[in-house]
Chains A and B, each alone.
Chain A
């Protein structure tokens, strides 16, 4: 008989000190919060009218009704309040939503390469937006009169929800969404939406083509307090609820059956994840166009620094997404001033090398 470790009786368990938590894991979230605050202050000050960080702080305190010794000019206050701050706020909200949705989808699909785009969110939003741009005169004029400037945003959001719902329904087997089928259905629906978008683009006039192109590249240029207040309730739900699903997503990494054996309500978790991620990405695409790579790369970077535990990865991806988008938008506004680079181009330009670096690093580790 082999030696068997004696089974200690459960009543005699002496309480042990919890194992030490790794440094990266403990420090990451405070570090990201600090960096985000700095990035927001710097970003709000950068642009044609330069506002130094002390002046930004002074204006913010002044707006809160606090007097500080920090000097600023009325013009700086006007620019910061009417133009910069709403844009920075929108960037923070959307960046956080995209990072969080990316981490949630990677957890749901049990695949680190998953992206909210896979289930048709972005393609559906694009199709709806392009439809609105191209067919505006004939079909949607009544809608446009009613919603005005927000027609495009509302249409894109509806398109995002519509395609996601379609993909989800297609992937259901006996009432349960089968994740592998969902991936395949997503590819099919993406292809169809892409083809229809192409068809509309083909029929578009030159002026419409320009709108389509700029919408597709993504920009935070349309930001105003009205936009920020408009997206806030829609983004607040995923931003507040997704980070609470960390434990559940950890269990999902074991496999769906195994997670169910541990008491996880798998079906309802999947539904929550899909609804919240669609809300996050659909809203973001609606107001800022498609901003690629953020949802894919940011969760990877967070896992690299802090390990795979979703209880850290989810808030980390939200903070990291907000940080990256704030910095990217600052660059987009300043590198070719007075013109602006579409932010989607920047995130893809910066994100691709980072992503490749992660892939190569993982490959090396596997070989060792």
Chain B
């Protein structure tokens, strides 16, 4: 689990994140939402160890994150970043196999190959396994990277996935498919922390929501408590109405022009 206590991050005099506290458990999907520049990606980069907190503490599985050896951490949490620039023309299968690198020296085992196969099947890319990554469409590249990240923590006990805007560039079907995959992993005991833009998707899939505004927590808790018109008005500076869906058990968030 991630335990975040009074986390702050500052560059020079500019504060990007101020006193954020929350806990993310295995078996939960935590959605981080907020306006552009609210500190969502900064938070994820702190959680993934790219940045070092200015203040506050970051615990992962009861150890300080900074004290966990990189190789061990790599077997328990995987990160899907926003930007993917691959400098060499690897094949889809080779790229997904890189998710297994923390598990083998020298040559991959048959088990590693099997995990790659299953990760590819999970994101629906089995047919493109032998294609060269640069020849794929943006959405297919995004799903290939998701498969790599899945392969990395495939059998980790209480493993965590950190997803930074995983839906960018995906069509409607694959947006839902990606979150459905995340949700299925959560059912299997994984923890998922995802930066999301679409509040309706957050309402539909998240177990917990963290709403940020200018680096500070506006609200944190189950979607129904966090995604209220007042909170959203405060965080995004736009009026919304919540409509109860007749059959699905979550509200629809609709912007209302003033």
Contact = CB atoms under 8 A, between A and B. Distances in A.
Nearest to A248: B101
B243 interface: no
* Interface size range of chain B in the complex: 35 or more
Interface string B93-118: 11100110110000010110111011
A308 interface: yes
Given A251-B101, A258-B79, A309-B94, A264 B86 contact: no
A8 B150 CA distance: 12
Interface stretch (A13-21, A138-146, A201-209, A324-332): A13-21
Nearest to B99: A262
Given A5-B122, A258-B81, A263 B75 contact: yes
Nearest to B175: A2
A16 B114 CA distance: 6
Nearest to A15: B110
* Interface size range of chain A in the complex: 35 or more
Contacts of B152: 262
A100 B87 CA distance: 18
B48 interface: yes
Interface string A1-40: 1101111111001111111000000000000000000000
A5 B122 CA distance: 5
Interface string A244-287: 00010011111101101111110000000000000000000000
A8 B121 CA distance: 10
A308 B113 contact: no
B124 A5 contact: yes
Nearest to A9: B188
A254 B141 CA distance: 12
A4 B180 contact: yes
Given A263-B70, A263-B102, A308-B88, A7 B181 contact: yes
Contacts of A162: none
Contact of B83 (A10, A111, A253, A255): A255
Given A1-B180, A247-B101, A255-B85, A261 B74 contact: yes
A44 B176 CA distance: 66
B54 to A, nearest CB: 13
A5 B81 CA distance: 23
Contact of B185 (A1, A7, A18, A260): A7
The winner among A15, A111, A251, A262 for most chain B CB atoms within 10 A is A262
B113 A19 contact: yes
Given A15-B111, A262-B152, A263-B74, A2 B81 contact: no
Contact of B173 (A2, A258, A263): A2
Interface string A302-321: 01000111000000000000
Contact of B113 (A5, A16, A261, A264): A16
A125 B86 CA distance: 33
Contacts of A263: 70-75, 101-102
A308 B97 CA distance: 14
Contact of A264 (B70, B72, B87, B110): B70
Given A255-B81, A308-B88, A309-B94, A262 B113 contact: no
A1 B122 contact: no
Nearest to B115: A13
B49 to A, nearest CB: 7
B91 A307 contact: yes
B78 interface: yes
B60 interface: no
A180 to B, nearest CB: 12
Interface in B112-139: 113-115, 117-118, 121-124, 129
Contacts of A253: 86-88, 90
Interface string A335-360: 00000000000000000000000000
Interface in A231-250: 247, 250
Contacts of A262: 74, 98-99, 101-102, 152
B188 A308 contact: no
A110 B129 CA distance: 23
B138 to A, nearest CB: 16
A197 B188 CA distance: 65
B66 interface: no
A112 interface: yes
Nearest to A17: B110
Contacts of A260: 49-50, 70
A265 B98 contact: no
A174 to B, nearest CB: 9
Contacts of B177: 2, 4
Nearest to B95: A254
B78 to A, nearest CB: 7
Contacts of B86: 253-254
Given A7-B185, A263-B101, A307-B91, 17 more contacts: A1-B180, A2-B177, A5-B121, A7-B181, A13-B111, A18-B108, A112-B87, A250-B90, A250-B94, A250-B98, A254-B86, A254-B95, A260-B49, A262-B74, A262-B98, A308-B89, A308-B90
5 contacts: A4-B184, A5-B124, A16-B117, A255-B81, A257-B50
In the A-B complex, list the 5 residue pairs whose CB atoms are closest, starting with the nearest: A263-B74, A110-B87, A308-B88, A10-B155, A263-B71
